[in-house]
Amino acid sequence: MASGRAGRRAGGVLLVLLLLAGALLGLDRGLHAYAERRVATELQNSLALAGPPAVEIRGFPFLTQAARNRFPRVDVTASGFSGSRSPGEPTLEIETLQAELHDVRTEDGYRVVRAGRLDGRAVLAYDALGGYSENPLSYGGSAGGPGRVQTKVSAPVGGDLLAATISGVVTVDEPNQQMVITEPAVEVVGVELGDEVVDRLAERFLEPIPVGALPLGLRLTGVEATETGMVARVTGTDVLIQEG
Protein backbone atom coordinates (compact mmCIF):
# COMPACT_ATOMS: atom_id res chain seq x y z
CA MET A 1 0.00 0.00 0.00
CA ALA A 2 2.76 2.46 0.93
CA SER A 3 4.57 1.83 -2.32
CA GLY A 4 1.31 2.39 -4.20
CA ARG A 5 0.71 5.75 -2.48
CA ALA A 6 4.34 6.77 -3.13
CA GLY A 7 3.91 5.89 -6.78
CA ARG A 8 0.73 7.95 -7.02
CA ARG A 9 2.45 10.90 -5.32
CA ALA A 10 5.40 10.64 -7.72
CA GLY A 11 2.99 10.49 -10.62
CA GLY A 12 1.13 13.54 -9.30
CA VAL A 13 4.39 15.49 -8.91
CA LEU A 14 5.41 14.54 -12.44
CA LEU A 15 2.04 15.68 -13.79
CA VAL A 16 2.37 19.03 -11.98
CA LEU A 17 5.89 19.48 -13.36
CA LEU A 18 4.69 18.68 -16.87
CA LEU A 19 1.81 21.13 -16.57
CA LEU A 20 4.18 23.81 -15.23
CA ALA A 21 6.65 23.18 -18.04
CA GLY A 22 3.82 23.41 -20.56
CA ALA A 23 2.62 26.69 -19.06
CA LEU A 24 6.13 28.15 -19.10
CA LEU A 25 6.61 27.05 -22.71
CA GLY A 26 3.30 28.63 -23.68
CA LEU A 27 4.28 31.86 -21.89
CA ASP A 28 7.69 31.81 -23.56
CA ARG A 29 6.19 31.38 -27.05
CA GLY A 30 3.49 33.98 -26.41
CA LEU A 31 5.95 36.64 -25.27
CA HIS A 32 8.25 35.70 -28.15
CA ALA A 33 5.47 36.34 -30.67
CA TYR A 34 4.53 39.62 -28.97
CA ALA A 35 8.14 40.86 -29.07
CA GLU A 36 8.44 40.03 -32.77
CA ARG A 37 5.26 41.99 -33.52
CA ARG A 38 6.51 45.00 -31.53
CA VAL A 39 9.88 45.05 -33.32
CA ALA A 40 8.09 44.70 -36.67
CA THR A 41 5.87 47.68 -35.82
CA GLU A 42 8.85 49.89 -34.94
CA LEU A 43 10.66 48.89 -38.14
CA GLN A 44 7.55 49.61 -40.18
CA ASN A 45 7.36 53.10 -38.67
CA SER A 46 11.09 53.82 -38.96
CA LEU A 47 11.28 52.75 -42.61
CA ALA A 48 7.83 54.07 -43.62
CA LEU A 49 6.81 50.65 -44.94
CA ALA A 50 3.34 49.91 -46.24
CA GLY A 51 3.21 46.76 -44.09
CA PRO A 52 5.14 45.20 -41.23
CA PRO A 53 8.34 43.32 -42.09
CA ALA A 54 8.95 39.71 -41.15
CA VAL A 55 10.87 39.50 -37.87
CA GLU A 56 12.40 36.43 -36.24
CA ILE A 57 14.05 36.66 -32.83
CA ARG A 58 16.55 33.81 -32.63
CA GLY A 59 17.41 31.78 -29.56
CA PHE A 60 15.58 29.67 -27.00
CA PRO A 61 14.30 30.07 -24.39
CA PHE A 62 13.03 33.57 -25.06
CA LEU A 63 12.24 34.44 -21.43
CA THR A 64 15.89 34.49 -20.33
CA GLN A 65 16.72 36.90 -23.16
CA ALA A 66 13.68 39.06 -22.47
CA ALA A 67 14.63 39.31 -18.80
CA ARG A 68 17.88 41.00 -19.86
CA ASN A 69 16.26 42.97 -22.73
CA ARG A 70 19.11 41.65 -24.86
CA PHE A 71 19.02 39.28 -27.83
CA PRO A 72 22.01 37.77 -29.67
CA ARG A 73 20.38 37.90 -33.10
CA VAL A 74 17.21 39.13 -34.81
CA ASP A 75 16.49 38.42 -38.51
CA VAL A 76 14.43 40.89 -40.55
CA THR A 77 13.00 40.78 -44.08
CA ALA A 78 11.45 44.03 -45.36
CA SER A 79 10.27 45.17 -48.78
CA GLY A 80 9.15 48.25 -50.67
CA PHE A 81 10.93 51.23 -49.14
CA SER A 82 13.10 54.15 -50.21
CA GLY A 83 16.85 54.04 -49.80
CA SER A 84 17.43 57.80 -49.97
CA ARG A 85 15.96 60.60 -47.91
CA SER A 86 18.42 63.36 -48.78
CA PRO A 87 16.76 66.48 -50.28
CA GLY A 88 17.32 66.90 -54.01
CA GLU A 89 18.43 63.30 -54.58
CA PRO A 90 16.45 60.78 -56.63
CA THR A 91 14.65 58.13 -54.63
CA LEU A 92 16.41 54.77 -54.62
CA GLU A 93 13.69 52.16 -54.31
CA ILE A 94 14.79 48.99 -52.51
CA GLU A 95 12.75 45.90 -53.39
CA THR A 96 13.77 43.75 -50.43
CA LEU A 97 16.15 43.95 -47.48
CA GLN A 98 17.25 40.85 -45.61
CA ALA A 99 19.12 41.81 -42.47
CA GLU A 100 20.76 40.16 -39.49
CA LEU A 101 20.76 42.30 -36.34
CA HIS A 102 23.34 41.26 -33.74
CA ASP A 103 23.58 42.11 -30.04
CA VAL A 104 20.08 43.65 -29.97
CA ARG A 105 18.92 45.64 -26.93
CA THR A 106 15.38 46.83 -26.32
CA GLU A 107 13.81 49.58 -24.20
CA ASP A 108 10.37 50.95 -23.39
CA GLY A 109 8.41 47.80 -24.16
CA TYR A 110 10.23 47.18 -27.47
CA ARG A 111 9.47 50.71 -28.70
CA VAL A 112 13.21 51.35 -28.89
CA VAL A 113 15.46 48.72 -30.47
CA ARG A 114 19.23 49.15 -30.81
CA ALA A 115 21.49 46.69 -32.64
CA GLY A 116 25.22 46.55 -32.04
CA ARG A 117 25.68 45.53 -35.66
CA LEU A 118 23.50 45.06 -38.74
CA ASP A 119 24.53 43.08 -41.81
CA GLY A 120 22.11 43.23 -44.72
CA ARG A 121 21.49 42.32 -48.33
CA ALA A 122 19.32 44.70 -50.37
CA VAL A 123 17.92 44.01 -53.84
CA LEU A 124 17.32 46.93 -56.21
CA ALA A 125 15.46 46.52 -59.50
CA TYR A 126 17.27 47.93 -62.52
CA ASP A 127 14.32 50.14 -63.46
CA ALA A 128 14.54 51.69 -59.97
CA LEU A 129 17.88 53.24 -61.03
CA GLY A 130 16.25 55.30 -63.77
CA GLY A 131 16.62 58.55 -61.84
CA TYR A 132 20.40 58.17 -61.86
CA SER A 133 21.05 57.24 -65.47
CA GLU A 134 20.31 59.02 -68.74
CA ASN A 135 19.68 55.61 -70.30
CA PRO A 136 17.96 52.58 -68.74
CA LEU A 137 20.26 50.01 -67.16
CA SER A 138 19.78 46.25 -67.43
CA TYR A 139 21.66 43.04 -66.70
CA GLY A 140 24.50 42.47 -69.13
CA GLY A 141 25.48 38.87 -68.33
CA SER A 142 28.63 37.56 -66.66
CA ALA A 143 30.72 35.72 -69.28
CA GLY A 144 32.25 33.63 -66.51
CA GLY A 145 33.19 36.63 -64.38
CA PRO A 146 31.38 39.20 -62.22
CA GLY A 147 27.91 40.22 -63.35
CA ARG A 148 27.77 43.25 -65.62
CA VAL A 149 25.24 46.03 -66.20
CA GLN A 150 24.62 47.46 -69.62
CA THR A 151 22.84 50.27 -71.42
CA LYS A 152 21.96 50.69 -75.08
CA VAL A 153 22.70 54.12 -76.58
CA SER A 154 23.19 56.02 -79.81
CA ALA A 155 26.91 56.74 -79.58
CA PRO A 156 28.87 59.25 -81.69
CA VAL A 157 31.52 57.19 -83.48
CA GLY A 158 33.58 58.61 -86.37
CA GLY A 159 31.13 61.41 -86.97
CA ASP A 160 28.11 59.08 -87.10
CA LEU A 161 25.53 58.06 -84.48
CA LEU A 162 25.70 54.29 -84.12
CA ALA A 163 23.69 51.92 -81.94
CA ALA A 164 25.98 50.71 -79.17
CA THR A 165 25.77 48.54 -76.08
CA ILE A 166 27.96 49.77 -73.23
CA SER A 167 28.56 47.49 -70.24
CA GLY A 168 30.65 47.36 -67.10
CA VAL A 169 31.21 45.71 -63.71
CA VAL A 170 29.64 47.45 -60.71
CA THR A 171 31.83 48.11 -57.67
CA VAL A 172 31.48 50.30 -54.58
CA ASP A 173 33.27 53.53 -53.78
CA GLU A 174 32.76 53.27 -50.00
CA PRO A 175 34.12 56.69 -48.93
CA ASN A 176 31.76 58.48 -51.33
CA GLN A 177 28.94 55.94 -50.94
CA GLN A 178 28.33 55.41 -54.63
CA MET A 179 28.28 52.56 -57.10
CA VAL A 180 30.97 52.87 -59.77
CA ILE A 181 30.95 51.01 -63.08
CA THR A 182 34.38 49.70 -64.07
CA GLU A 183 35.91 47.47 -66.76
CA PRO A 184 33.90 49.13 -69.55
CA ALA A 185 33.19 47.41 -72.85
CA VAL A 186 31.40 48.74 -75.92
CA GLU A 187 29.79 46.71 -78.69
CA VAL A 188 29.11 48.38 -82.02
CA VAL A 189 28.25 46.10 -84.94
CA GLY A 190 30.93 46.25 -87.63
CA VAL A 191 33.14 48.77 -85.81
CA GLU A 192 36.26 48.13 -83.76
CA LEU A 193 36.80 50.80 -81.12
CA GLY A 194 40.02 51.84 -79.45
CA ASP A 195 40.44 51.94 -75.68
CA GLU A 196 40.31 55.74 -75.62
CA VAL A 197 36.92 55.80 -77.38
CA VAL A 198 35.57 53.08 -75.09
CA ASP A 199 36.67 55.03 -72.01
CA ARG A 200 35.06 58.25 -73.28
CA LEU A 201 31.75 56.53 -74.03
CA ALA A 202 31.75 54.75 -70.68
CA GLU A 203 32.48 58.00 -68.86
CA ARG A 204 29.54 59.66 -70.60
CA PHE A 205 26.94 56.90 -70.37
CA LEU A 206 27.97 54.90 -67.28
CA GLU A 207 28.13 57.54 -64.57
CA PRO A 208 28.59 56.69 -60.87
CA ILE A 209 25.34 55.97 -59.02
CA PRO A 210 25.14 57.75 -55.62
CA VAL A 211 23.12 55.85 -53.04
CA GLY A 212 22.39 58.87 -50.84
CA ALA A 213 21.46 58.55 -47.18
CA LEU A 214 20.44 54.95 -46.50
CA PRO A 215 17.85 54.24 -43.79
CA LEU A 216 18.99 53.63 -40.20
CA GLY A 217 22.43 55.08 -40.93
CA LEU A 218 23.48 52.04 -42.96
CA ARG A 219 26.42 52.13 -45.36
CA LEU A 220 26.93 50.41 -48.70
CA THR A 221 29.87 47.97 -48.61
CA GLY A 222 29.45 45.82 -51.72
CA VAL A 223 27.34 45.33 -54.82
CA GLU A 224 26.77 42.67 -57.48
CA ALA A 225 24.80 42.71 -60.73
CA THR A 226 22.47 39.70 -61.09
CA GLU A 227 19.66 38.74 -63.45
CA THR A 228 17.01 39.69 -60.88
CA GLY A 229 18.51 43.04 -59.92
CA MET A 230 21.39 44.82 -58.27
CA VAL A 231 22.29 43.10 -54.98
CA ALA A 232 23.87 45.48 -52.48
CA ARG A 233 25.53 44.60 -49.17
CA VAL A 234 24.97 47.07 -46.36
CA THR A 235 26.21 47.29 -42.80
CA GLY A 236 25.78 49.48 -39.76
CA THR A 237 26.91 49.72 -36.14
CA ASP A 238 24.94 50.92 -33.14
CA VAL A 239 21.79 50.95 -35.30
CA LEU A 240 18.85 52.68 -33.60
CA ILE A 241 15.29 51.69 -34.48
CA GLN A 242 12.41 53.55 -32.87
CA GLU A 243 9.00 54.86 -33.79
CA GLY A 244 9.34 57.42 -36.60
Output the DSSP codes for 104-137. Answer: EEEETTTTEEEEEEEEEEEEE-GGGGGGG-SS--
Cβ neighbourhood burial of 158 (10 Å; 0-12, 13-18, 19+): exposed
Residue 171 vs residues 79, 139, 236: alpha-carbon distances, Å: 24, 15, 19
Mean pLDDT (whole number) for 13-21: 49
Q: What is the pLDDT of residue 33?
A: 83
Q: What distances in angstroms separate CA 200 from CA 156, 195, 196, one per listed residue?
A: 10, 9, 6
The DSSP secondary structure of 37-86, one letter per residue, reads HHHHHHHHHHHT-SSPPEEEE--S-HHHHHHHTEEEEEEEEEEEEES--S
Q: What is the pLDDT of residues 38-91, one digit of tens each?
A: 888 888 887 777 788 898 988 777 778 887 888 889 999 988 766 554 555 556
Sign of the torsion angle spanned by Cα atoms 231, 217, 210, 235: negative
Q: In what order do the strands lie in the sheet with 70-82?
A: 54-57, 70-82, 93-107, 112-124, 229-242, 219-226
Answer whether residue 106 shows pLDDT above 60: yes
Q: Read off the pLDDT of each residue in 113-128 and give the average, rounded to a whole number.
A: 89
Q: Answer whether residue 97 shows pLDDT above 80.
A: yes
pTM attached to this predicted model = 0.75
Number of Cβ atoms within 10 Å of the Cβ of 27: 13
β-bridge mates for residue 176, sequence order: none
Q: Average pLDDT in the 85-108 region?
A: 77
How far apart are alpha carbons 171 and 198 in whole angstroms? 19
What is the reported pLDDT for 224? 94
Band of residue 196 on the pLDDT scale cut at 50, 70, 90: confident
pLDDT of residue 21: 47
pLDDT of residue 133: 62
pLDDT reported for residue 75:
93
Query: φ and ψ at 222, to 5 degrees?
Result: -165, 160
CB 186 within 8 A of CB 202: yes
Own/partner pairs, 66-72, CB within 8 angstroms, 24+ separation? 66/31, 66/35, 69/105, 69/106, 69/107, 70/103, 70/104, 70/105, 70/106, 71/104, 71/105, 71/106, 72/102, 72/103, 72/104
